[in-house]
Structure formats: C-alpha cells, structure tokens
Homo-oligomer: A and B are copies of this chain.
Amino acid sequence: MKDAAETAVTTRREDAVEPVSGAQARSAKTTTPPRVVIVGAGFGGLHAARALGDAPVQVTVIDRNNYHLFQPLLYQVATASLSPADITAPIRHVLRKQKNTEVLMGEVTGVDVQQQHVLMGDQAIPYDYLILATGARDSYFGHNEWARFAPGLKSIQEATKLRSQILRAFEQAEEEPDEEKRQTLLTFVLIGAGPTGVEMAGAIAGLAHQTLKGEFHRIDPADARIILVEALPRILLAFPEGLARKAKQALNHMGVEVRTHSPVEDVTDEGVIIGGKLLPAQTVIWTAGVAASPAGAWLGVETDRAGRVFVSSDVSIPGHPDVFVIGDTAHFEQDGKPLPGVAPVAIQQGKYVAQVIADRVAGKEVSKPFHYFDKGNMATIGRLHGIVSIGKLQFAGVLAWFLWLVLHLYFLIGFRNRLIVMLLWFWNYTTLQPGARLITADRT
C-alpha cells in the first residue's frame, strides 16, 4: 500500500513538470513548463515561491540579497537585541526542497514587458509570468537631503549602522566635557510614530535605562532624551484611539517624550527643526514614511503618489495579465482605500497570485478577485507592554506583549531562528542584557 502511494505521488510529480494540455496558449507554445520569475524574496515573494513549489512551472526567484529578511524584528537588530543572522534566512536554503525553483542573487534593473524579460544589467531573464514583490524604501517626502542625517531602517546594513550610531553616542558622551554637547549626544529623535517608531523608541529607552545602567563613570545613560515626533494629532494611526493612548502612557512611563502635532520642518547635522526651533540631537532616526520600490518605473505604468503600482482585482497590472505586483509596491484598493504596506497583505497576495498562475497554467478559469483578510494589528512598547487589536478585541499590557512575542516567533522563517530568538528573548528580557552590543560601523 505504502509503495503504491509513493509511486502515485511520484507519477503525479512527473506529470506535473510536463506542459499541461489545455493550458494557456503561452505555455503551450513552449516545450518547457511556463517560467515564473519572482523579483524580491520578502514576505510576498517568498510566499508566492513556496506556494508554487508543486505547480507545473519553472520558478526563478531573484533578490539583491542572498537572504530573506524578517523586517518586523529589524528594530531589534538596530537596538542590540538580536543579530542579523537571527532574523534572516538564506533564500536558497528556504527553497532548497523545491526542485522547480532556482534562486539568483542579483540586482534587477528593469523589465521589458513586450519581450517578457526581466533585465539584470546586460542579462535578460525570460518569463511567462512575472511577480514583482520588490517592497518599499524610505521616503523623505521630497526631502532626500534629510536621509544623510536621519537614516531609516529598511536593511540589515542600516540596522547595524544605526546600532553602531546609538551605542557610539553613549561612548562619545562619556568622553565629552561640554555639558551642552553631552546632552546633544544623548538625545535621540525618532521621526514618525507608527509601529516602527514606537517599538524603536521603547527599545532605545530600554538600552538607556536598563542595559547600560551603571556601566559609565561620567554620564548616567538614563539622562538620555528619547523623543518620538509625530506630525499627526496622535501616534499609531493604524490602531484604535484607545490603544494608542495606552501606548503613549506606556512610552511616557518608560521615559520617552511623545510630541504629536509636530511636523518636522528640517533635519540638519545639528538636529531637527520643529515649529521653527532647533531640537539639538546627535541621532535622528527616520520612521515616518515609505515609498514603493521603482517597479512602477520599470513597467512604465501609472503609480500613486507613494510610487505604488495600481493593480487590478487579480493583482495583475492593467493590460498585462501576466505581470503581477504584490505587497508594498502594489496599490490595491479595498473598501475604498489602498491596503496598508504590512506583511500580511504581501503574504496573502503572494499566495493568491501563485494560485492564479497555477489555475491559469492548468487552464482553469480564475473567478475570485483578491480579498485581504485583516487578522488585526499589534505592536510592542518596550519590555512587558504591548497592544493588540483583532477586530473588536482590543487589549494592552503584558498579555498583548506576550502574544506579540509568540506570533513573531511563529512567523519567523526557519526553526533555528525561532529557537535562537526565543532563547535570546528569554535571556534579554530576564537579564535586561541584550547581547549584540557591537559598534562595528565606521563613524559616519
């Protein structure tokens, strides 16, 4: 019985790599299975690739890095809690068991939608179906000159550089004889009070008040000022107002100053200008806004103000049913507004698009348009405090924090990472001594 079942599975697999009769004209043209190229191995791209693992297609995943990055925990690398290896997984390793999938490390430079080619410099990778899952980058709202003074938090390199900058500020303060300069060195401004700004502010407060306590002779690290600046009337706009209020109380309790109604007018090497006044700060971190990747420009299609590509109900672009744009780079309207740039949207779109492609290759008609199922929203504020919003269920405090931990562990890619991060969190939260306190980047 068992052998028969195994044989059946094998046969099915062998069938699978043959072109399926009745498939679309395009795949019938070729003698090889249809080629699906996925650009970007973030949440969207990786989940699309995984969902295509058993489909009768050839999958090529292209990413500029050799690893998938679990971005929601990037702020913990920037604040010395975790190491880069703990929140990344080699793409090749994640997809190693998919015999129909190959992985290329490289920088995509454009797309030729007429010839159906993805361009990487002078290399052209042909596709039958294309999934662009190229994510987002920091947006300075037309003030790119601020990037120099207020780095964002999008990549491992930015995170380790920020970690060096934050830790070095305390080292420099220890050696600074001038009182005023010392205070500037110990001032950390976060621009933008979304989840990243809130989580980052809490983590820096933890460093200053707990981790570094008693380790300096001339300064008291607790003298650090951590200021979370927000242009809007309140923090955490994606959360209900009650939870945002609780988060603000928790931040204040941790020693974080929250300044709402405070649009930033300028960022210089001296600090931040708000209301015409300079707020002197050595470290300014940009957590305010993102723009889409340049996928819209590659395709030559219309985008919204944030650079996101308008997509149809099946997440393909108008006029090119073989090109899909998913995740942070897509503008998908639901209930009259675009979906937010969060991991669950990218994951659900990735899986959906994989199904659309598999259906088309199998000659099935695709009927159901994409619909995002919002499972809720959560954030952590320092140690032992979190907020959770799942439909009508809303709560704050230690239970929300714990739920945040469990779900982030669950969604981390790779069993090793889950194990190590669980252990490190246990260590960090009981000893208050996160272990990745390295200054490795050169002074900027």
**Contact status B437-A67, CB under 8 Å:** yes
Q: Which residues of B contact A106 (CB under 8 A)?
A: 175
**Contact status B435-A416, CB under 8 Å:** yes
Q: Which residues of B contact A437 (CB under 8 A)?
A: 66-67, 85, 90, 93
**Contact status B214-A67, CB under 8 Å:** no
User: Does A105 count as interface, using CB distance less than 8 angstroms?
Assistant: yes
Q: A96 touches which one: B171, B215, B218, B423 (CB < 8 A)?
A: B215
A436 to B436, CA, bound (A): 14
Copies of this chain in its oligomeric complex: 2
Q: Using CB atoms, name the residue of chain B closest to A83.
A: B83
**Contact status B214-A96, CB under 8 Å:** yes
A419 to B212, CA, bound (A): 21
Within 8 A of B (CB), among A364-386: none
**Contact status A438-B67, CB under 8 Å:** yes
User: What total of chain A residues lie within 8 Å of the partner, measured CB to CB?
Assistant: 47
Min CB–CB distance A245 → chain B (angstroms):
36
The secondary structure that dominates the A interface is: mixed
Contact with B along A79-110 (1 / 0, CB 8 A): 00001111010101100100000111110000
**Contact status B171-A105, CB under 8 Å:** yes
A267 to B242, CA, bound (A): 66
Q: A171-B105, A416-B427, A423-B423 are in contact. Are A438 and B216 (CB under 8 A)?
A: no
Q: Which residues of B contact A423 (CB under 8 A)?
A: 419-420, 423
A81 to B423, CA, bound (A): 17
A34 to B106, CA, bound (A): 58
Q: Which residues of B contact A431 (CB under 8 A)?
A: 416
Q: 8 other contacts beyond A67-B437, A157-B440, with CB at 8 A cut-off?
A: A66-B437, A67-B438, A83-B83, A92-B212, A93-B215, A93-B433, A96-B215, A103-B215
